[in-house]
Amino acid sequence: MKTEARLKELGIELPATTSPMANYVNAVRTGNLLYLAGKGPGQPGKPLPTGKVGRDFTIEQGYQLARETGLNLISVMKAELGDLDKVVRIVKVLGMVNATSEYGHQPEVINGCSDLFVEVFGERGKHARSAVGMGSLPRGIPVEIEVIVEVAAGPAPRAAAAAKPAAKKKVAPKVKKKSAKKKKR
């Protein structure tokens, strides 16, 4: 089944891709690997959720925030690749949970993203993973996740466009300046 059809079957509509918050890009492709920058929950035009899991959010709420983050990551994959069927495999997930110092349920929280990837991509969505606790995350968000994706061979749409040579500019022919001859007196 095509990935886009699977999303429709699951009743999932991808959110708009969010812009980076600082001097970086959403994704970098090298060879057949696509490295996605860390993303968190939230959508453009809406307030970011902030707080610590274990204090401000329950495990279940953290799970939903990680799932929302997973949707944001899939949106980036779609924007970068043009077609989610180019995802060969989700290779690695690093899930970071903004949690209290004694919190120990990071894996259950990050399952929100991991479960989503398996629902959407099937076997291609199974991945290696780390789920760690953090003392803080950017802007106080409760979850941040980064992903490494193996993609089908061939240039990414953006890389293909960038690889095209620029159109040659027409240059006006050079006009030789006439040298002024000294008049004899």
pTM of the model: 0.83
* Low pLDDT (below 70) residues in the chain: 155-185
What is the pLDDT at residue 157? 56
What is the pLDDT at residue 3? 96
Q: For residue 178, what are the contacts with CB-CB under 8 A and spacing of at least 6?
A: none
Please identify which residue in the block is written with the tokens 């929950």: 41
Strands (DSSP E) contained in the chain are 27-30, 33-39, 87-98, 128-134, 143-151
CB 124 within 8 A of CB 87: yes
What is the pLDDT at residue 44? 82
Q: For residue 49, what are the contacts with CB-CB under 8 A and spacing of at least 6?
A: 41, 42, 57, 65, 141, 142
Q: For residue 56, what are the contacts with CB-CB under 8 A and spacing of at least 6?
A: 50, 142
What is the pLDDT at residue 172? 47
